Amino acid sequence: MTTHGKPIPQDEPVVVVIGSGAGGGTVAHELAAQGVKVVVLEAGPYLTADDYTNDEWPAFNQMAWLDMRTTSGSYRVARDFPNLPAWIVKAVGGTTTHWAGATPRFMAHEFAARSTYGEVEGANLLDWPVTLEEMEPWYDRAEKAMGSSHRHGRPPLPANNNYKVFANGAERAGYTYYATGPYATNAEPYDGRPATVQDGFNFQGDKSGAKWSTLVREIPRALESGNAELRPLSQAVRITHGPDGRVDAVEYLDADGNLHRQATRAVCVAGNSIETPRLLLMSDSPSHPDGLANSSGQVGRNYMRHLTGSAYARFEQPVRMYRGETMAGIIADEAVHDPSRGFVGGYYMETLSLGPAFLASFVEPGSWGREFTRLMDAYAHTAGMWLVGEDMPQESNRITLDPDVKDQWGLPAPHVHFDDHPNDIAMRRHAYRAADTIYRAAGALGVHHTPPYPATHNLGSCRMAADPADGPLNGWGQAHDVPNLFVSDGSVMTTGGAANPTLTIVALAMRQADHLCELLRTGEL
Amino acid sequence: MADKDSATIKRDTSSALRGGPAALTSRQRQVLVRLLRVAYPHDSFPDGPYERTADAVVEATADDRRLAATLGPDLDMLDTICGGDFLGAPDEEATLILREYADEPYFRQIRGVAVVALYDDREVWDLLGYEGPSFDQGGYLHRGFDDLDWLPDPRITEFDGEPRTEMRTPEEDSR
Ligand SMILES: Cc1cc2nc3c(=O)[nH]c(=O)nc-3n(C[C@H](O)[C@H](O)[C@H](O)COP(=O)(O)OP(=O)(O)OC[C@H]3O[C@@H](n4cnc5c(N)ncnc54)[C@H](O)[C@@H]3O)c2cc1C
């Protein structure tokens, strides 16, 4: 097996980080930088910029998590893409290799959704055990690490063509809070990385390195520290614990399916919101009969995927939306809690562009005929935006182990059940109307409303909750039931907020790493 | 040209069995190409992209033995319904017939493959005005990422007046 970094014996109990994406890469780097020995297990291969391609399908097939998954529920993804509930990357760097880069913060009230929104029927709202005030210094650190534009002296990105349409429409429609960021791609060289060449392939892995990802920053730095070993093509399949109730090892499969065992002092699970609960559920034992750390019964529940929806507008004149930074355009005016709109929570609008093959697949799944080809014929004259907002946590939106379907290792495939909440539907309707208003104001000939894609934002499913009865983790992402077990990825989110999640995931992981170091230093772990 | 390996979105093949691709008669293949043209009508597209998409469809039937066996007869059926000649039927009539069969598994599966294969085709990219890979040409930085000139240049920085209202409750007067 090819290893990276300083080799660590399998019988040496170290901190094991499972997953190398936004949460895992960050926690591994922070721990290693503070002198803690870390083994990072990553299910996917170690691919770098040279491997990436400026081509949608090959890039997707090269890196997306395509192991068997199943779906159910009333959401359209279950019908259109029954085995692809989510777009998640299986490679070193995780989904930060394919992410776009938008980095808005959560707002104060979003950390207190239950007390702000009140009781929303059918929703399982809860206040976070963390406040914005506590998060602010970590947000600052995360923005500096990621190089967010518009923050801490980082300049804004210039306007690409898609943004020009978007921002002009916003201005004419009466919106105020629009800009080309915050966005974690360099407008000018920063942190050893170059400025963007506006190649337009954000979702395919960035060949230039202008875009932040844990692949370009946290992972190499963790390895350089001499305290970390990265094992790619190593999929964790079970976390075991001793009679004292503490986790003591992680079992994982290498590329050939051979089982290995790494001893642990503590474990940080960061496999993204479908694999993280799956792994805990697969790690059941006589003392954890419903899955590890699941005395609350909440592991896998309250899965969120954000509002999502997109709008594509046709114009008389060319736009060429695909040129340049894909999502460097954000309107924040509707990211407000204003129940007079008929729903709680709010949403952002962000520029978006897909190439022809992705647009054809996702713009109106299953559609064909003249109506459909009219959309495609207008490709060069099309502008696009994404609608992203807070969806309601629901107990029944849930990751479980499929009793019938197995993955390529013979392990139970994760099953994703998702129904839209009426609040999600009302918000989406409002957002589509806002998109119409913006694009019509910029002169659109027509606007097409595209249904949600496979989820790029996967949240919840192992929520932090002050009361152990409400969720498996405390406010540090530490399991209520198991003191040396942590979750370090987007699964920890108590509620979803309107903002894209990665900045918050990174800030939380930094905060958790500091806490974990403290526990290690004081001998509590 | 559509890369064979790339033209696969994840489909439910859990119940399918791999085998050889469908063996179509030349008539059946012509019907398939015509079906694709009627399903995805682009006046500006020549035959090439539709022919290559038909290849991709045939190739994909290898993933599903049942489909490989039924594709030919399903295409024959289109001829039968058209009184013997799907190729000669006017576009409108052909479209109406396909509408009737929109939910048939064969037509759904053909569309699943075609929608990727057709639009992942380099000739189609040119026809639609998509320029594709750009990194080896220095991105679009000096090739028009900001050349839209039919609208004024908008502000790119954040609004520097009043901070945004984040919450409005019925009691508060806002905006
Ligand atoms: C196209 C796209 C655009 C996006 N744009 C934005 C954006 O603009 N802004 C934003 O904030 N967010 C964006 N996101 C979302 C963002 O990428 C994710 O929210 C974020 O990466 C999630 O972090 P994570 O740590 O939870 O998981 P990931 O980053 O997905 O990392 C999980 C890692 O764990 C590995 N893994 C899983 N299970 C195991 C196991 N059992 N053993 C070992 N390894 C395992 C996976 O292979 C993966 O590498 C985008 C996502 C996509 C797909």
Residue B8: its pLDDT value, please?
A: 44
Instruction: Give residue B2's pLDDT band: very low, low, confident or very high (50, 70, 90).
Output: very low
User: What confidence score (pLDDT) does residue A354 get?
Assistant: 98
Residue-level length of chain B: 175
Alpha helices in B19-121 (DSSP H): 26-39, 47-60, 65-81, 91-100, 105-119
DSSP B26: H
Contact B121, A114 (CB under 8 A): no
* Model confidence pLDDT, tens digit, residues B153-170: 999 999 999 999 999 987
Q: How far is B173 from chain A, CA to nearest CA, in Å?
A: 11
The 3-state DSSP class for residue B100 equals helix
Rounded-to-integer distance, Cα A508 and Cα A322, Å: 33
pLDDT above 70 for B151: yes
Please give the pLDDT value at position B5. Answer: 38
- Residue B12 is predicted with a pLDDT of 52
Q: Which of B7, B124, B167 sits opposite A336 (nearest CB)?
A: B167
Q: Looking at the partner chain, which of A68, A81, A379 has a beta carbon nearest the beta carbon of B130?
A: A379
CA distance A426 to chain B (A): 18
Please give the pLDDT value at position B13.
52
- Residues 100-159, chain B: which have Cβ within 8 Å of A? 102, 108, 111, 115-116, 118-120, 124-125, 128-136, 138-141, 143-148, 150-159
Mean pLDDT of A425-435: 98
Q: Which atom of ligand 1 is nearest to the CA of A44?
A: 47
Which DSSP helix (H) or strand (E) runs through A387?
A: strand A382-389
Token pair of A512 as six digits: 């958790």
The closest of A511, A303, A499 to A419, measured between CA atoms, is: A303
- Any atom of ligand 1 within 6 Å of the Cβ of A305: no
pLDDT at residue A3 in the model: 74
Other CB atoms within 10 A of residue B36 CB: 24
Share of chain A above pLDDT 70, in %: 100
pLDDT digits (tens, 9 = 90+) for A367-424: 999 999 999 999 999 999 999 999 999 999 999 999 999 999 999 999 999 999 999 9
pLDDT-based confidence at residue A1 (cuts at 50, 70, 90) = low
Q: Three-state DSSP class for A382? A: strand
pLDDT at B3 over 50: no
What is the structure's pLDDT at B17? Answer: 80
Cβ pair B159:A177 closer than 8 A: yes
User: pLDDT tens digits, residue range A448-466?
Assistant: 999 999 999 999 999 999 9
**Which residue bears the tokens 């370090």?**
A488
Q: Is the CB of A99 under 6 A from ligand 1?
A: yes
Mean residue pLDDT of chain A comes to 97
C-alpha separations of B6 from A376, B3, B9, B19 in Å = 20, 5, 8, 20
Mutate to test the interface with B, among A188, A199, A367 (most CBs of B within 10 A): A199
Mutational test site, ligand 1, from A41, A95, A306, max ligand atoms within 8 Å of CB: A95
Length of chain A: 525
A141 against B1, higher pLDDT: A141
How far apart (Å, rounded) are the C-alpha atoms in residues A209 and A186?
9
Using CB atoms within 10 Å of the CB of residue A472, give its burial: 0 to 12 exposed, 13 to 18 middle, 19+ buried. Answer: buried
Euclidean distance between CA atoms A176 and B162, whole angstroms: 10
Distance from Cα A121 to the centre of ligand 1, integer Å: 30
User: Do residues A70 and A83 lie in contact, with contact meaning Cβ atoms separated by under 8 Å?
Assistant: yes
ipTM over 0.90: yes
What is the best residue among A18, A67, A99 to mutate for testing ligand 1's pocket, by most ligand atoms within 8 Å of CB? A99
Q: Which long-range contacts (CB under 8 A, 24 or more apart) does A171-177 make?
A: A171/B154, A171/B155, A172/A438, A172/A441, A172/A442, A173/A434, A173/A437, A173/A438, A173/A441, A175/A331, A175/A333, A175/A438, A176/A333, A176/B159, A176/B161, A176/B164, A177/A331, A177/A332, A177/A333, A177/B158, A177/B159, A177/B164
Cis peptide leading into A232, omega within 30 of 0? no
Task: Give the atom of ligand 1 at the shortest distance from the alpha carbon of A502.
Answer: 11
Distance CA A264, CA A266 (A): 5
pLDDT reading at A343 higher than 60: yes
Give the residue from A396, A384, A390, A521 showing the smallest Cα distance to A116. A390
CA of A92 to the centre of ligand 1 (A): 10
C-alpha distances in Å from residue A404, one per residue of A81, A373, A453, B107? 19, 39, 25, 28
Atom of ligand 1 nearest to the CA of A490: 26
Report residue A211 as tokens.
Answer: 């875009």
Q: What is the mean pLDDT of residues A241-261?
A: 97
The answer to whether the Cβ–Cβ distance between A109 and B6 falls below 8 Å is no
Give the residue from A31, A12, A41, A356 showing the smallest Cα distance to A225: A31
pLDDT > 50? residue B83: yes
Ligand 1 site, residue A87, Cβ cutoff 6 A: yes
Q: Which of B128, B151, B156 sits opposite A379 (nearest CB)?
A: B128
How many Å apart are CA B118 and CA B40, to the nearest integer? Answer: 9
Among positive and negative, which fits the CA dihedral A42, A44, A48, A54?
negative
What pLDDT does A294 receive? Answer: 98
Instruction: Judge: B140–A200 Cβ closer than 8 Å, yes or no.
Output: yes
Q: Is A369 in contact with B39 (Cβ distance < 8 A)? A: yes
Quick check: B132 and A108 CB within 8 A? no
The answer to whether the CB atoms of A369 and B41 lie below 8 A apart is yes
* pLDDT, tens digit (0-9, with 9 covering 90-100), for A139-168: 999 999 999 999 999 999 999 999 999 999
* Closest among A391, A389, A342 to A123, alpha carbons compared: A391
Q: B18 vs chain A: nearest CA distance in angstroms?
A: 16
Which residue minimizes the CA distance to atom 29 of ligand 1?
Answer: A21
For residue range B12-68, what is the model confidence (pLDDT) as tens digits?
A: 555 668 889 999 999 999 999 999 999 999 999 999 999 999 999 999 999 889 899
CA distance B14 to A408: 12
A457 Cβ below 6 A of ligand 1 = yes
Encode pLDDT of A81-135 as tens digits: 999 999 999 999 999 999 999 999 999 999 999 999 999 999 999 999 999 999 9
CB pairs under 8 A between A and B: 214
CB atoms within 10 A of CB A251: 16
- Please choose, from the candidates A345, A411, A294, A383, the residue with its C-alpha nearest in 3D space to the C-alpha of residue A112: A345
